Structure 1
Amino acid sequence: MSSPGPRPHDDALVLGPLLRYVDETSATVWVRTAEAATVTVGRAGRTWSAPTFCVHGSHYALVVCDGLLPGSEDPYTVDLDGEPVWPREGMPPSRIRTLDPARAVRLAFGTCRTTGSHDEEGNRAHGVDALRSLGVALRDDPARAWPDLLLLLGDQVYADTTPHPELEEFMRARRSLDEPPGEEIKDYVEYAELYRLAWSDDVIRWVLSTVPSAMMFDDHDIRDDWNTSWSWRRDIRATTWWQERIVSGLAAYWVHQHIGNLSPAELAEEEVWRAVAAHAAAHEGRRTGEEPGELDLTAALEALAHRADAEPSTYRWSYTRALGDSALVVIDSRAARDLRPDSRSMLDEVEMAWLDGVLRGGVRHLLVGTSLPFLLPPGLHDFEALNEAMAQGAYGRRVAHAAERLRRTIDLEHWAAFNDGFDEVFEMVVSVARGERGPAPDTVTFLSGDVHNSYLAEVTDPAGAGARSRIVQAVCSPIRNPMPRGVRVVMSLFARSLVRPMRAIASRSRRVPDPAYRWAVTHGPWFDNNISLVHVADRGLELEWVTGVVEDDVDRPRLRTVYAARIDPPAPEGRPRAGVGSGSVQGHPRGRNTEGVA
């Protein structure tokens, strides 16, 4: 039996604050503390408090700040039992800036950020951290245009590798790494330490304290290839360590990521959070002599995680956000899968019905966040669709076994590998773009990551499908985890040279259905560590991919633009307006500075 491990901190405020959900009149602030405490957030002469709850001996609070004014912007403070713990000396103040209906929305997004040091050695191993570089730019230039939301779409932590020496030392102090699961994360206590290391750098900590964030898991938050196929799930469940891992991973995700995605109204309906809210109400009664102590959520949260894994339809990780005159829908493309060989889909029936209900027009831009790109480079899409047919037995048992091994080895498990679900969602999206679900938006734009390269893709003839919206895929990956150079060549080929050959091969097979609508990669791929900035401009949607560059000081990387593009709204007749390069998107090449660029 593993021991709790050494105390990794002496600070009363172990982690955070993280500014999470923010709308026009409310915000939530998340913290992890060293001991049970009452957490108080102060802003503009008002205070809001909440008692901590604990999970496996770690203490947390999510403080709901309500009654705020739209478009207001004020610094905030955090106290623990009346003692100030935030902001820290030498850091700029953290602020809560509520949404303003009259302000154009900006957001940043990306995926895949490994945990490592930010010195020369760490940069050699992982590259310069694009999120940290953005944080430095925001910290050092208060006049810079700030994102209203930081959207982190997967692999915030890597539970299946231990690149950080502190994490390995922590794990070795608890258990033997020669026994399963070896150097991978074993349980909740190790997850808590992994999150602490991922978010504790001073710049990262500050930027997460002052830019609202929304998150979604991907496979490495749990384990590489998570829910790739029915046989993968069968094989992993046969191990001695998986059940503890999946329960711990989902519980840790609920605490560190999921609850911050929810609005105060959604929190009030969340089944486990209701116990937190009830305990907080009882905590107020201590003034009359009652002392309820700290709520231990461990058992309730593990029961939820166990059920959510065994019966995915019983719990939803997906969510929506209103962003001014645009809307964001974030899809769980991992836990909600239907893996049955005769009904494979990225989303099970319950999740698909939910998505069908929330994909609606009547907004300027409908943004769809999904960790895995919906529109892969066409050559890769056809390759994965062909592999799915083979793995499902279309060409015999021997071919199926070989295709399954290939699927797991090189991660052929994106939307294209769940073709029925892909087709169903594509029809929903085109229905929105036709104006059949409310007035057609200017764009339906997928925001994704995962594939360790970045690109823009677009449906090539939306008017031919009757669509009045542009249908676009924007991919930003990695934030910090560069792809090996040899694999970069292969990915470039799938985006360009192999498109026609793979289409020819796939089209000859009666077992591989042809996509109903065509798309093409219009820009990219590029392979830098990136974070992407999105601006809902007066005309269209502006996107910019930026990377961190170290010149003289590793602590002060500057931002460099890798690519910038503007997606103009469709012409009145529904066809895209002419642009540079692809004829539909106006772009600017890599290499220029971002000074003055949002």
Structure 2
Amino acid sequence: MTDLVLGPLLRHVGEHTAAIWVETADPAEVTVTAGEHQASARTFRVHGHHYALITLDGLEKGTKTPYQVESDGELVWPLEPSIYPDSVIATFDHEKPLRMAFGSCRTSVSHDSAGNKLHGVDSLRAYALRMSGVTDTDHEGDPDPGPGMRWPDFVLFLGDQVYADETSTEMQTFIEARRDVREPPWAELKDYAEYAQLYKVAWSDPVNRWLLSTVPSAMIFDDHDIRDDWNTSLAWKQEMEATTWWHGRIVSGLASYWVYQHLGNLAPEEREQDDIWQRINSHDGADEFDATDLLDEFADRADQEPESYRWSFTHDLGSQARLVVIDSRAARVLDTENRSMLDDSEMAWLDEQLRGDVDHLLIGTSLPFLLTPGLHYVEAFTEALAEGAWGQRWTDIGERMRQGIDLEHWAAFQDGFHKVSDMVLEVARGERGRAPETVTFLSGDVHHSYVSEARSPRKAARRRPRQQSRIIQAVCSPIRNQLPTGERIGARLAAYWIAGPIGRLMVKSAKVPTAPLRWKLLRGPWFDNNLATLEVLPHGLRMWWASGKVEDGVHHRPRLITVADVTIDKPTKETR
């Protein structure tokens, strides 16, 4: 028998299939049993670490089945004794109204008073405690209060699950035991072993581990999974590639991301088409397959030739919803003559995915597609300035602004923003199949949460078919990494008050094209640590944001409270 290092994580689940991911201490044959269903897989090895992904098939839709994990025939999950309920596989039933959780940006520090003072209460952990019944106080505003509250069908993590560049005290202790932190890359991550430890720190807390074992998860990276401002611009990339340590970072970061996050995103038929998984899964030798060189070569190629691999993915949720998750980091085109958030291959793929004929089209992108309008135009201006709109002598100033204050969202990639806006408007007008009730962007990154709504510009609306879908931007950030009070005030001033008039002046001076959408804030902003939940209703969508609150000094068992609750009704003549 070999012990579990991490997991089990319940990953992609359909109506009849489920994937369970584990990391083990040594090579092993891992078996998952759920009722009458059983499947096994041999571990594969990457840089001395051991992993298995086990797929169960033939499950009954809409059921919850407890499961257990064995390693070389010995029970390793559930752990005993345990105060948490049995881990279960909850298969989808596409006729049941969807409920999903989403959020981004989660640091992994202690859950005591010191950790909570540093980054606030972990809202994912508060959510897990509430689900498990360990905390018995009602979740205010939840339609199903009590320990039997309906669980989300899955949780979508929208980036920065791990911070490779802002390491915790625990991670720094691990790093210092291996190498001299006075040498580059200092206390940041250097190699695969350090990434493996970072994921271990992030996913080992007992109640979060239980949640990840029983709620399916989907994941996409953002910059801190690799490094702050990852792929902001060509100048940024050239600066990184000139260092002695960047190549090791990007290779280990992408290789570990494939193992820990991306592989479990894929449906069984998609995994079978993945070249890396085919090589691993087709190994029929008695020994464990060593995928180290395969993954390192793959990660190097994926960085240098982004069109060689697609990190974006979809999740079919039946006729009521479809989820399209976009890679807004690795697929960027940084060439100054052809700058875009997505390369041609990725843009063509997205063009195929954005279709109607569902009640709700959900688009996951770690970076908000719609910032506040004022900030949007500030970012658009900065891109124009850095690309020479005011002449060559201003380009360096534009580049310093872009990197210095993180002006690198969709708004700073105007080509991609306009193309995707046009696609979304075509969906909303019913030009790509039946128009959904909503086209809803789900995002994170910005360390505050809000809801906005977009429409066609008035002049365009008169020339084209009427917009039939409500276009919504919902942001949930952070799960755990809240801004200090002073920074919150600065962020609110910059994004919601100052940026508006400045943005209008800037775009005129740089001749930035008018956005193909007009939008306004519906709710927010709020700066709490949050995990958001989205539920499909008969008359639209409901979304609520929940945070953990410490009471009576009991830091390890925070109570889950509702911070905001927003209902998006079906479109009417007034809302179109």
For Structure 1 versus Structure 2, the TM-score category normalised by the shorter chain is over 0.9
Q: Which residue of 2 aligns with 1:529?
A: 529
Change (3 A) 1:461 1:397: closer
Residues 420-477 of structure 1: CA distance to partner in whole angstroms, max 9, x if unpaired?
1100000000000011110000000000000000000111458836210000000000
Q: Which residue of 2 aligns with 1:422?
A: 417
Residues 210-236 of structure 1: CA distance to partner in whole angstroms, max 9, x if unpaired?
000000000000000000000000110
In 1: Cα distance, 2:450 partner to 2:37 partner = 45
Within the candidate set 393, 397, 404, 1:402 is matched to: 397
Within the candidate set 43, 50, 63, 2:54 is matched to: 63
Residues 223-265 of structure 1: CA distance to partner in whole angstroms, max 9, x if unpaired?
0000000000011000000001000000000000000000111
Q: Does 1:256 align with 2:260?
A: yes
In 1: Cα distance, 2:507 partner to 2:408 partner = 20
Partner secondary structure for residue 327 of structure 1? strand
Within the candidate set 227, 247, 250, 1:246 is matched to: 250
Q: Which residue of 2 aligns with 1:116?
A: 109
In 1: Cα distance, 2:244 partner to 2:357 partner = 50
In the TM superposition, 1:442-481 aligns within 5 A as 442-460=437-455, 464=461, 466-481=466-481
Within the candidate set 293, 315, 320, 2:314 is matched to: 320
In 1: Cα distance, 2:281 partner to 2:457 partner = 47
Q: Which residue of 2 aligns with 1:202?
A: 206
Q: Which residue of 2 aligns with 1:101?
A: 94
Q: Which residue of 2 aligns with 1:162?
A: 167
Q: Is the 8 A contact 2:2 2:26 kept in 1?
A: no
Farther-moved stretch of structure 1 (314-323 vs 492-501): 492-501
In 2: Cα distance, 1:176 partner to 1:462 partner = 56
Q: Is the 8 A contact 1:75 1:96 kept in 2?
A: yes
Residues 503-539 of structure 1: CA distance to partner in whole angstroms, max 9, x if unpaired?
4313422531111221011211110001101001111
Partner secondary structure for residue 497 of structure 1? helix
In 1: Cα distance, 2:489 partner to 2:512 partner = 26
Q: Does 1:294 align with 2:285?
A: no
Farther-moved stretch of structure 1 (480-489 vs 218-227): 480-489
Q: Is the 8 A contact 1:462 1:469 kept in 2?
A: no
In 1: Cα distance, 2:194 partner to 2:38 partner = 33
For the aligned residue pairs, the C-alpha RMSD in angstroms reads: 1.5
Partner secondary structure for residue 426 of structure 2? helix
Q: Does 1:542 align with 2:542?
A: yes
Within the candidate set 407, 413, 416, 2:408 is matched to: 413
Structure 2 unaligned residues grouped into runs of 5+: 134-145
TM superposition shift of 1:495: 4.6
Q: Does 1:565 align with 2:559?
A: no
Q: Does 1:311 align with 2:299?
A: no
In the TM superposition, 1:130-529 aligns within 5 A as 130-140=123-133, 141-163=146-168, 165-279=169-283, 282=284, 292-324=286-318, 325-460=320-455, 464=461, 466-498=466-498, 500-529=500-529
TM superposition shift of 1:560: 1.0
Count residues in correspondence. 555
TM superposition shift of 1:345: 0.5
Q: Is the 8 A contact 2:64 2:89 kept in 1?
A: yes
Residues 282-331 of structure 1: CA distance to partner in whole angstroms, max 9, x if unpaired?
25xxxxxxxx2000000001111000000000100000001232000000
Q: What's the TM-score, normalizing by structure 1?
A: 0.91
- Counterpart of 1:162, as a letter, is T
Q: Is the 8 A contact 1:378 1:494 kept in 2?
A: no
Q: Is the 8 A contact 1:377 1:494 kept in 2?
A: no
In 2: Cα distance, 1:346 partner to 1:146 partner = 34
In 1: Cα distance, 2:524 partner to 2:188 partner = 34
TM superposition shift of 1:491: 2.8
In 2: Cα distance, 1:244 partner to 1:503 partner = 39
Change (3 A) 1:496 1:239: closer
TM superposition shift of 1:353: 0.3
Q: Is the 8 A contact 2:457 2:516 kept in 1?
A: no
Partner secondary structure for residue 498 of structure 1? helix
- Counterpart of 2:38, as a letter, is T
Farther-moved stretch of structure 1 (230-239 vs 139-148): 139-148
Residues 161-184 of structure 1: CA distance to partner in whole angstroms, max 9, x if unpaired?
211x33212111111111100000
Farther-moved stretch of structure 1 (134-143 vs 79-88): 134-143
Change (3 A) 1:344 1:71: same
Q: What's the TM-score, normalizing by structure 2?
A: 0.94
In 1: Cα distance, 2:26 partner to 2:500 partner = 60
- Counterpart of 2:49, as a letter, is S
Residues 71-115 of structure 1: CA distance to partner in whole angstroms, max 9, x if unpaired?
111110000001001111213210001001221110000000011
Q: Does 1:25 align with 2:16?
A: yes
Q: Is the 8 A contact 1:495 1:521 kept in 2?
A: no
Q: Which residue of 2 aligns with 1:77?
A: 68
Farther-moved stretch of structure 1 (514-523 vs 242-251): 514-523
Farther-moved stretch of structure 1 (64-73 vs 52-61): 64-73
Within the candidate set 16, 21, 37, 2:28 is matched to: 37
In 2: Cα distance, 1:322 partner to 1:205 partner = 26
In 2: Cα distance, 1:521 partner to 1:399 partner = 33
In 1: Cα distance, 2:533 partner to 2:366 partner = 16
Q: Is the 8 A contact 1:25 1:68 kept in 2?
A: yes
Partner secondary structure for residue 566 of structure 2? strand
Partner secondary structure for residue 300 of structure 2? helix
Partner secondary structure for residue 275 of structure 2? coil
Farther-moved stretch of structure 1 (88-97 vs 129-138): 88-97
Partner secondary structure for residue 167 of structure 1? helix
Q: Is the 8 A contact 2:384 2:510 kept in 1?
A: no
In 1: Cα distance, 2:444 partner to 2:277 partner = 30
In 2: Cα distance, 1:305 partner to 1:142 partner = 43
Partner secondary structure for residue 455 of structure 1? strand
In 1: Cα distance, 2:504 partner to 2:356 partner = 35
Partner secondary structure for residue 452 of structure 2? strand
Structure 1 unaligned residues grouped into runs of 5+: 1-9, 284-291, 578-598
Q: Does 1:12 align with 2:12?
A: no
TM superposition shift of 1:393: 1.4
Partner secondary structure for residue 15 of structure 2? coil
TM superposition shift of 1:40: 0.4
